[in-house]
Amino acid sequence: MNLLNVLLPAIILISLAIIFSAILAVLSEKLAVKENEKIKEIQSLLSGANCGACGYAGCKSFAEALVSGKADINTCNATSIENKKKIAEILNITSFSTNETIAVVACNGGNNTENKFDYQGFTDCKSAALVSGGYKACAYGCLGGGTCANVCNSDAASINCQNIGEINRSLCVKCGLCVNACPKRIIKFIPASAKVYVKCSNHNKGAAVKNICSKGCIACGLCAKICPENAVTLIDNLPEIDYTKCVGCGLCAQKCPTEVITQL
Amino acid sequence: MEYLIIIVSAVFVNNFVLSQILGICPFLGVSKKIDTSVGMGIAVTFVMGVASVFTYALNAYVLTPLNLEYIQTIVFILVIAVLVQIAEIIIKRFSSTLYNALGVYLPLITTNCAVLGVALINVTPSLNYNLLSAFVNGVFSGVGFTLALVLMAGIREKTVTSDVPRAFRGFPIALITAGIMSMAFLAFSGMV
């Protein structure tokens, strides 16, 4: 066997490789792009949930948009307050909200609510809501189709045995995707410090609610009367809790005859 | 006339994606938006054209005289990989939007079998190509690839908003579309 037959291909390949690597080395040096250090720093501070709720493709694009001043840090709900503060320092901005929030489903209906008609379409809430506002007799009620569970990237939203949406607090990253996806708009952000919340969204009068839902707010106003801090007021037949005044005594939740006010 | 036949053959009759089923990965991966698909098509056309010239020249002037045709594949892959790297550096420098849009598919041109395919077809002895016809074949194979990609992207942009049965949503409908397009391109066969 001729030694040259073995060596020649090896020599050719090696010389090609050397030429090519030299070209690449020169080009990458000459055409190098400087990446902004801030972007990397901010990206490491963001939650990394990549939920897309801010409207950007992921945390990296959001970080780029933040640095270029196109995005607002407040549109990210998933990042913790401490990290937001650090990001604000890097960006030299002060305008960001310091309230930690959690998402809750403000409906207690589900199987406790009557149906208007027999719905036989796609189970998705958005489809269901298109047919005369949904098949539930309550115009404000959870349809139980699981749109919130479908959009949730962190498996926090689910439909419970009562056929009501439920958000697992320990899994929720507060991205707000479900809040925007719910066609009934009954998923709401409340302060993370909240001890009680109103688990109904029906603004109708008591009798109308009583006829269709056994767990709906009948606007009796007991909660507003019992509250020692005057934190609860009845607005449009629905109690509203002022979380700045609420001390979390839980009296309203104990008094509520239809168990609408729920303790967290 | 000879070059016209090569062009028609490369773009329509032997379209790399739809007739020869090469380069399917970027065809399905980057065909969601027309803008991105045009960018990808241009990048692939560039790599194919330049790779054709380099690989043909290497083969004709280095490998054939030394009777080393059997290392064609590895040499061609080396050349293609370098060209892709150069394309990547250039795109990153001059259009970060396109760079972000192409994402992982840009380095994937390296292993795009359409590029290696055109390089190997160019040096097929029975075709008897010269350097210029190899270059023309390379560029217009890229144009054919771009055509297939843009057509696919146009259809996929429409399927996103149309009422697709649930089981077919997303990837399945893209595969079915690709199959039907491939059948449509079958009508060109036998023209050259």
pLDDT tens digits, A86-114:
888 888 877 666 667 888 999 988 888 98
Q: pLDDT value at position B56?
A: 93
How far is the alpha carbon of B184 from chain A, nearest alpha carbon, in Å?
34
Structure tokens at A192: 């993370």
Residues of chain A with Cβ-Cβ distance to B75 below 8 Å are 12-13, 16
Place of tokens 């479900």: A178
Q: pLDDT value at position B153?
A: 93
Pick the residue of B64, B69, B71 with the most A CBs within 10 A to test the interface with A by mutation. B71
Burial of A184 (C-beta count, 10 Å sphere; 0-12/13-18/19+): buried
Q: pLDDT value at position B48?
A: 92
Beta-strand pair A196-198/A232-235: unpaired
Residues of chain B with Cβ-Cβ distance to A124 below 8 Å are none
How far is the alpha carbon of A74 from chain B, nearest alpha carbon, in Å?
25
- Share the mean pLDDT of chain A: 86
Confidence of residue B68 (pLDDT cuts 50, 70, 90): confident
Distance CA B175, CA B28 (A): 8
C-beta atoms of A16 and B75 within 8 A: yes
Q: What tens digit of pLDDT does each residue of B148-183 get?
A: 999 999 999 888 888 888 888 888 999 999 999 999
A144 and A105 Cβ atoms separated by less than 8 Å: no
Q: Average pLDDT for residues B115-122, to the nearest whole number? A: 92
Which residues of B fall below an 8 Å CB-CB distance to A? 58, 62-63, 66, 68, 71, 74-75, 78-79, 82, 85-86, 89-90, 92-93, 96
Q: pLDDT value at position A58?
A: 81
Q: pLDDT value at position B126?
A: 87
Per-residue confidence of chain A (264 residues) as pLDDT tens digits? 678 888 888 888 899 999 999 999 998 888 777 777 788 888 888 888 777 778 787 888 888 888 888 888 878 878 888 888 888 888 887 766 666 788 899 998 888 898 988 888 888 898 888 888 889 999 999 999 889 998 888 889 999 988 999 999 888 888 888 988 899 999 988 888 888 999 999 999 888 898 999 989 999 989 999 999 888 999 889 999 988 888 888 889 998 998 899 888
Burial of A216 (C-beta count, 10 Å sphere; 0-12/13-18/19+): buried
Closest residue of chain B to A15, computed from CA coordinates = B75
Pick the residue of B70, B77, B86, B95 with the most A CBs within 10 A to test the interface with A by mutation. B86
